[in-house]
Each structure stands twice: as structure tokens, then as C-alpha cells.
Structure 1
Amino acid sequence: MTDPASDLPPVSPVPSASAGPRTPSDVAAAWHRQAGDSVLLDGFHALKHAVRFGARVRIALTADRAGALALADELAGDVRDTLAELLTEVPHETYAALVPRPHPTAVAALAVRPSRADNLRRLAHTPRTAPVVVLDNPRNLGNAGAVIRLAAGFGATGVVTTGTLDPWHPTVVRGGAGLHFATAVERLTVEELPSGPVFALDPEGEDIRSLELPDDALLAFGSERSGLSAELRARADHLVALPMRPQVSSYNLATSVAMTLYHWSATSGSPSSATGRATGGAPGGAPV
């Protein structure tokens, strides 16, 4: 499948960290200076994905450099050399003091958030060759992160949230495993949504199995608690229902998005990469 932003300027390369701070105190000082406006990447896999998709990493550290590079040899050979250049080893107590929740891989990094202007340009770019996922007033940070990870895996153009939830909140980024850098992620109002037919998921809608979802669709999902907002429902061109056994209340938000994106990929589009074991991933879609 063609990249929906293939004619846009390439993402800036990851800067070299070869001249960066090397002592624990220098690393900690540099981290504190840059943490305020940076995206926190929690864990080896978040850093791996961010680097793979062109993130500009300001600083990366680990309490176990040998372990991190062993993981790179096993799971991320394509970015192993870059990770080796970026990662600075620090004592575990230094690492643990700099991150809110130490990750089992003992890796953390700070990256530059993609510019809003670039993301909006990607979302507005036409012709669109993959849908935009719209989360209407989502509430759960972890679910939002899982949706971004799904959208990146299916090659969606982007993920847009409405309402108060920040899709770049550290907990969302953690749930997305660094894949915010693989798709355009922004918060917009309903009025600001990009162009395209809106297919909104609703129990009263038409069975999705009877529909073909176009590549330029906006796939809209309400919150698990209250469903679609009146504003988003009014904007919808089609209401779509997922098959569900009677007396079952709802699916988890990420599950609903996965089912819908799979239906799109099976009937209209397709993921941008081959099925099976993803590069640097785990077999059978296991968490990475």
C-alpha cells in the first residue's frame, strides 16, 4: 500500500549522540534540561520503534547497555547501530530516578514531538490511501495507546482524538510502544476533522460485514461509557455496527478499532507491510 504521505518531505534523521554526555551526572542534567518539551519513550521497544520511524532522539539511556544491545541484535537489527550510538549506560539508580515507572528493559529516551503542522498536513493530504481513526472523547489512556499501536500496524493515515484526553500523554505513548512516530497523532475538534466520509461505529448502524470501507474514510469510535457524541453523530455519513452476541454490552475500544481496521484491510486496503512476523516484532502478534 502506498504511503499516504509519500510525497511529503522526509522526516529528519536521528541526530548523533556520539558527542553527548557520558557521566551519570551529565546524563541526569541533560535529561532534566530537555524533559519538559520532549516525548518520553519508555523501554527498549518504544525507542526501537521511534528510531525506526524517524524520531529525533535527544538523549537515550539504559541501566543495562549489554542487555539492550542483545535485544537489538535479536529484534531490531535494522536500527542496532543507531541504538548503539544513542544509548548511554548509567547506574540503575540514576535511570530509576529519571523515569516515573522503570521499564523491565531499563531503557528510556527523550524524543522531539513531531510538529503539529506536519501532522495536520499528513491528515489533510489527498488522495488518502488509508483511513484516519477518530476517537471521539476517549477516556482511557491505555486504550488510546493501544489504538495508536493498532493504527500504525495497519498503516492508517493517523489517529485523531476529540475531547480532553491528550494523545501524547506519557501513558498513551507507553501504550503505543513508540508507534506515535509511525502515524499522525493529533487532538482536534469535530469541526477540525480532515475531509472524507465519516463511518461512525454505533449499535444501531448497518452491519459492517455488508459494507466496504473506502481508503479515505474517517473511522469514528465513541467512548465505551457514552458512545458517540451528538456532534460527531451529526457529522457521520454512515453508522456502522460490529457483529455482537445479544446481551453483550460492548467491545473494548481497541478491540473495536482492530475489528474495523481488519475489515477495511480485508475488503479494500491492506497493511503496508507483509503479514506474519513483523520486522523486529514477536511471532503471532505477541506484545513487544
Structure 2
Amino acid sequence: MTSDVTAGSDPLGRWHRLADGAGGSVLLDGFHALKHAVRFGAEVPVAVTTDRRAALALADELAPDVRDALDALLTEVPQAVYAALVPRPHPTAVAALALRPSRAANLERLARAPRVTPVVVLDNPRNLGNAGAVIRLAAGFGATGVVTTGTLDPWHPTVVRGGAGLHYATAVERLTVDELPAGPVFALDPEGDDIRGVRLPDDALLAFGSERSGLSAALRARADHLLALPMRPQVSSYNLATSVAMTLYHWSATGGAPHVP
């Protein structure tokens, strides 16, 4: 069924109706974000570019699997119009609005059992770019989802930009610690056991504290195991996305494997 925002042949009108809605639209900033969102099933009512030929040439080179879909979606607009639609124009001069997945669908995906890949939990993260990088990593490893606690919105436009549209390849939600899905919680902490001696199960929740203050008391109390990443003495910490990458790699190298649906 065609909704009101997708009906008709006025792409700029559709853009403004979606953008003025109550949080239901997601800005896909750049060719790669649009490519990934389409590839992983996002509903994209409107997409614009200043140069259709260049955008479709990128699709021919980098994403032939979604080339036809992009051809049908993309509307060419003048540079001034494009610049007025997006707060920070992307070098590829492509932008789109997608519909955000329903919370109910994401919660169902997170709760599904048996779970065949871990859930990444970011406990009260503060940096929007780090959160986007983590979502991109989690999608690459086939993680079931990324959950954030605290005030950061994991669907903030800066997070989506950092995630390159890969929010649609995994379940991304903000929950409280009490709402986390079932499963053993392995939380990263400098005082934990060396991760190299532990095999991480596929149904694990892999929890990471905030960049500034580490694990919250609530998440620490929920943890079943505390694990530490190998680190040279006198080095204080790793970047959050680096810690997630090391942990997911350890999971994949010790029995887990990226899930291909």
C-alpha cells in the first residue's frame, strides 16, 4: 500500500512531509548510506542527487545489486536545493529519507531465541561518531543488534552517518539495563579476566562502558562475567569502537562466525 508521504510525483514535497514528521524518518547521508539501507531492506520513500549519472556510475562500480533500485529512486535536483535539504552536504551529493524500523520489530529480533550472534550493548555512550562506528562494526560481524542505554539516541543523524546506513542490517534500539534481552552478559572492564582465555557464546550480550566513566553500577550488577582486553601497561584505554572490534573478532575467531541470513 502506498502511504501519503510516498504518493504522487513530487519528491521535494515528500521530503518535506517526511522531514517534518514526528521522528519517523531517517536521513541517509551519502551514496554508501543509501546503498546499504536499500540492500538491507529499508523503505526509502525519497532520494535525491545533484548528478544522477554520477550516482548510478557509482552503483555500477560498487553496488550493482541495488543499481536498478537506485535508478528508480533517485531524483536529480539543483545543487542549491540539495544543499537546503541536508545540514552537511556529502561528497557524493546523494541524500535520502528512509522510514525507521518499528521498535516492536527490533525488540522481537533482539528477543528471538535461540540467538545465533551476540548483541552489543553500549552502556551510556556519549560520542555520536563512536556509536555509529560500532553499529557499522556490528553489522559487519552479523551481530543480532546494538543496544544503547542512557540518553544518546542511536538513530541520531550523526550516528546514522557514522554507521553508513548499516542500522538497517542489524537491530538498533535504546533500552534500559532492566530491558536488555536475555542472555549471559560479558562486560568489558580493566579489572576483568583476560578475554583471550574465554570463549564467548553466540547468545552473549557484549557490554561496553562509556568512553569517560566505564560501566554503570546497574550494568555491572547485571554482568555475569567481567573481561579485559590485552593492553600494554600505562596505556589507559582503547577507543570504544576499537574495543568492540577486538571483542567481536575474538568471538568470531573462537567459534562464532558472521551470520548470513
Fold-level match, TM-score > 0.5? yes
The residue aligned with 1:260 is: 247
1:142-167 Cα offsets, whole Å, 9 max, x none, are 00000000000000000000000000
Q: 1:153 aligns with which of 140, 160, 164?
A: 140
The residue aligned with 1:33 is: 17
Q: Which amino acid aligns with 2:11?
A: V
**Structure 2, unpaired ranges of 5+:** none
Q: Which amino acid aligns with 2:191?
A: E
TM-score (norm 2): 0.95
Q: Percent identity?
A: 83
The residue aligned with 1:64 is: 51
Alpha-carbon distance in 2 for matches of 1:122, 1:176: 19
Runs of 4+ in 1 over 6 A off after TM superposition: none
Q: Which amino acid aligns with 1:55?
A: A
Q: Which amino acid aligns with 1:152?
A: A
Q: Which amino acid aligns with 2:57?
A: A
Residue pairs, 1:137-216, within 5 angstroms: 137-216=124-203
The residue aligned with 2:105 is: 118
Determine helix, strand or coil for the equivalent of 1:205.
strand
Q: Which amino acid aligns with 1:138?
A: P
Q: Which amino acid aligns with 1:92?
A: Q
The residue aligned with 2:29 is: 42
| 1:30 CA drift (Å) | 2.0
| 1:187 CA drift (Å) | 0.2
Alpha-carbon distance in 2 for matches of 1:60, 1:166: 23
**Structure 1, unpaired ranges of 5+:** 1-11, 274-288
Residue pairs, 1:98-109, within 5 angstroms: 98-109=85-96
The residue aligned with 1:4 is: none
Taking only aligned residues, the RMSD between alpha carbons, in angstroms, comes to: 1.2
Q: 1:73 aligns with which of 50, 56, 60?
A: 60
Residue pairs, 1:217-232, within 5 angstroms: 217-232=204-219
Alpha-carbon distance in 2 for matches of 1:72, 1:237: 45
Q: Which amino acid aligns with 2:130?
A: N
Q: Which amino acid aligns with 1:272?
A: H
Determine helix, strand or coil for the equivalent of 1:57.
coil
Matched, 1:54 2:38: no
Alpha-carbon distance in 1 for matches of 2:239, 2:57: 35
| 1:272 CA drift (Å) | 3.1
1:208-257 Cα offsets, whole Å, 9 max, x none, are 00000000000000012100000000000000000000000100000000
Alpha-carbon distance in 2 for matches of 1:249, 1:184: 31
